[in-house]
Amino acid sequence: MDDRETLELLQDMVRAQSHPAVPRQEEGTALALQAYLRRHGIPGELIEVREGRPNLIATLEGKKPGRHLLLCGHTDTVPPNAGSAADFFSAAVENGRIFGRGTVDMKGALAAMAAALVDILESGGLDSGLVTLAAVIDEELESFGAEALITSGFKSDGAIIGEPTGNRVAIGHKGLEWLEARFFGKAVHGSVREEGVDAIGAAAHFISLIEHELIPGFERRPDPVLGPSAINIGTIHGGQQPSFVADECRVQVDRRWVTNETVEQVFDGLEELLTKVRAARPGLRTELARMPEGMAMMLHGPLVIDPGHPLVLAARGALADAGLDSVPTVFPAWTDGALISREAGIPTLIWGPGEIKLAHSAEESVPVEDIFLAARLYAAAARRFTPPF
């Protein structure tokens, strides 16, 4: 495996900006990945999902039938951090780390996955089975790329999503809902506040009920793998000026849910709190709605894979052979893996280089040795997973 070439591929992908402000957002990254694969005799097909925004699909076929492994990652990134003086697209290497947007989330893993395919091919190929690399668009927003892969009818026996786990195997993560609670009151002059219906006060009451009723309930009903559900109050907007009683306020929340609850229960739990808020404020009207930018079509549910699944055992075996910690963990954020698992029925785990705490940050970077290690681990796991049936 040529580590120098793997690093150069990652640098090319980082320099090919792929955040939402870039025209034909992910195309440059996909082209860099395709060019690398083609130089090594692996045809990578670009499949346009949105205009100028292609998924890339490349498959290695073994000599005999066997399991099919999907290696999957996303080519889009979040934008540079506002106000930062960092050069997010230099892909500079300093003190053994490569810096730049996407190094952690998750072009580093994509470079490692591509290098794993090349290593498998150039060390004799697969004896059996198949390995497919899917580099998909739009994970950071609505998951158009993963949805397109699924609706194309793609199937495999297992999938690895290369989100940053510090190269540890993660066997699940929580589901995700972005929800907005809207409060509609009655505006009056602030000097006669009692004549109005205060939408901001109603929103504050709702937030207090989340803190004192909803969250303690989560702690009493943890998922055996994923732990308790979670909720974050992300934004609040309301009012016009200090001398007005606010007649409208909106609270946006990030709700993480687990396998022992349903999406209907997610909504019902918040609706119960809104009912209490309305009862305390005659004349108040409320609404609860999913934020449209949170997903395209498919539900962003939780993900769990059986710890005894052959893919988990293959990944853990690759780690053990390298003398590394193979005890499974869980991933704190949501990934396209939930769609691949729930909608396509493909058992899926999360496994990739980098630290999640550096993703989306001005300090985004990853040790280059972790990228090279990930490539070797992916190749070793693929060989373990794809023997003949």
Examine the domain organization and report whether 161 and 262 are in the same domain: no
Q: Is 40 helix (H, G, I), strand (E, B) or coil?
A: coil
The pairing of strands 365-367 and 97-99 is antiparallel
Predicted TM-score (pTM) of this structure: 0.93
- For residues 27 and 122, membership in a common domain is answered with yes
Number of domain units in the chain: 2
Are both 168 and 179 inside the same structural domain? no
From 272, 294, 316, the end of a domain falls on 294
CATH number of the CATH domain containing 377 = 3.40.630.10
- Which residues, in sequence order, are CB contacts of 39 under 8 Å at separation 6+? none
What is the chain's Cα-based Rg? Answer: 23
The label of the residue with tokens 């640098």 reads: 11
**DSSP letters along 105-129, please?**
TTHHHHHHHHHHHHHHHHTT--SEE
Cα 273 → chain centroid? 29
Residue 221, domain CATH: 3.30.70.360
Beta bridge partners of residue 50, listed in sequence order: 53
pLDDT tens digits, one per residue of 57-107:
999 999 999 999 999 999 999 999 999 999 999 999 999 999 999 999 999
pLDDT tens over the chain, length 389 residues: 799 999 999 999 999 999 999 999 999 999 999 999 999 999 999 999 999 999 999 999 999 999 999 999 999 999 999 999 999 999 999 999 999 999 999 999 999 999 999 999 999 999 999 999 999 999 999 999 999 999 999 999 999 999 999 999 999 999 999 999 999 999 898 888 888 999 999 999 999 999 999 999 999 999 999 999 999 999 999 999 999 999 999 999 999 999 999 999 999 999 999 999 999 999 999 999 999 876 778 999 999 999 999 999 999 999 999 999 999 999 999 999 999 999 999 999 999 999 999 999 999 999 999 999 999 999 999 999 998 76
| Final residue of a structural domain among 294, 324, 349 | 294
Clarify whether residues 67 and 159 are in a common domain: yes
Instruction: Report the pLDDT value the prediction gives residue 129, as an integer from 0 to 100.
Output: 97
Structure-block tokens of residue 102: 């996407």
Q: Are residues 257 and 230 in the same domain?
A: yes
Distance (Å, rounded) from C-alpha 287 to C-alpha 274? 8
Measure the CA–CA gap between 318 and 315, rounded to whole angstroms.
5
* Same domain flag for 167 and 74: yes
Neighbours of 374 (CB within 10 A): 27
* Positions marked active-site: 76, 139
Q: Three-state DSSP class for 96? A: coil
The whole-angstrom separation of Cα 107 and Cα 98 is: 11
Identify whether the C-beta of residue 92 lies closer than 8 Å to the C-beta of residue 337: no
Cα–Cα dist 10/106, whole Å: 10
Pair (157, 133) in one structural domain: yes
Q: Could you tell me the CA-to-CA distances from 2 to 33, 36, 103, 104, 116 in Å, in that order?
A: 15, 12, 19, 20, 10
The verdict on whether omega for the bond into residue 295 sits within 30 degrees of 0, i.e. cis, is no
Same domain, 369 and 308: yes
* pLDDT at residue number 355: 98
- C-alpha distances (whole Å) from 110 to each of 61, 254, 280 are 19, 27, 53
CA distance 387 to 382: 9
| Boundary (domain end) residue, out of 257, 277, 294 | 294
Do residues 37 and 158 share a domain? yes
d(CA 238, CA 288): 16
Domain identity same for 246 and 232: yes
pLDDT score at 293: 73
Give me the pLDDT at residue 389, please.
66
- Tell me which residue range forms the domain holding 136: 3-173+302-385
Claim to verify: residue 281 and residue 321 sit in the same structural domain: no
Residue 320 and residue 248 share a domain: no
* Residues whose CB falls within 8 Å of the CB of residue 193, separated by 6 or more in sequence, listed in order: 245
